Structure 1
Amino acid sequence: MGECAPAAAAPTTAKTSVWWDIDKCAVPRGRCDPHRIAHNLIAALAAAGYAGPVSIAAYGDAARVPPPVLAALSATGICLNHVPTGSKDTSEKRMLVDMLFWAFDNPPPGNYLLISGDQDLSDLLHRLRMKRYDILLVRPPNASSQALAAAAKKI
């Protein structure tokens, strides 16, 4: 009988990368302190058992985000990727490419937390899940993509 390879880090202690579509899932005005977003995301992940290192990247048109919110996000370690409003699905395409690069740089186990309601990302999420990444999803109440929800481990 052959020996089994040592188990890799469990998804709960593996890296988690948060991918946030800030155009479609904006910071709620008056209901959320933007200085607390990174802390709240990390605390929610820890409460769900995900205790590994966390990186957070937001994608969208920075010109549409109020300057105090931009400053708060930047000050708390959230990387804002400015994608000017222009052609259709520009933010999603940029996010998709960056998500693929993250997978190349971070082999499984690893965790993706997507904050979006865009069903165009569902195929990528299904493929990442087949490659043994945990897929977590936060989507706005008005998003009804079953394909996106089916790709996620938790919603």
Structure 2
Amino acid sequence: NLYGPTETTIWSTVMNIDENEIGIPPIGKPIWSTDVYVLDAGLQPVPPGVIGELYIAGEGLANGYLGKPELTAERFVANPFGERGKRMYRTGDLVKWRNDGVLEYMSRADHQIKIRGFRIELAEIEMVLQRHEYIQQAVVMVREDRPNDKRIIAYIVAEGNEGINLSE
């Protein structure tokens, strides 16, 4: 099993899955020249069994997002465990260490999802919908009515009795 976001040159951890492994396959241990950290909100390491956010550092780390300095500053942060001036990538994934030094993936820390290879922030879609003058509230989620056919759907609460033109 291979794990790794694009920002860390695709692969960051690896695990040979034993046929006796039960449940969701673990994401493994870091690959060569990669450091991984499971940290709390104060960027302090958490002990095995405690869920924290996964941070990745090492040779495969991207420089940031082209033309997006704010997002780069948010996701690529100073690495307090490495050489001065080095950075680490804040993945947004919640994981925990097992006692044997293997990482288990738990969930996302945000509302980002991946559909057909594209990362999508559901909260951003909700914000755009709620800017519409006749929408009071919006909730966006992923639904999979058929296997491997994920779709984004939105539920809205209209403002007053005004009709909403779906083409808007």
Larger RCO (CA within 8 A; separation ≥ 6): 1
Same-fold status (TM-score > 0.5): no
Say which one has the larger Rg: 2
Q: TM-score interval w.r.t. the shorter chain?
A: under 0.3
TM-score (norm 2): 0.26
TM-score (norm 1): 0.27
The structure where strand makes up a greater share of residues is 2
The structure where helix makes up a greater share of residues is 1
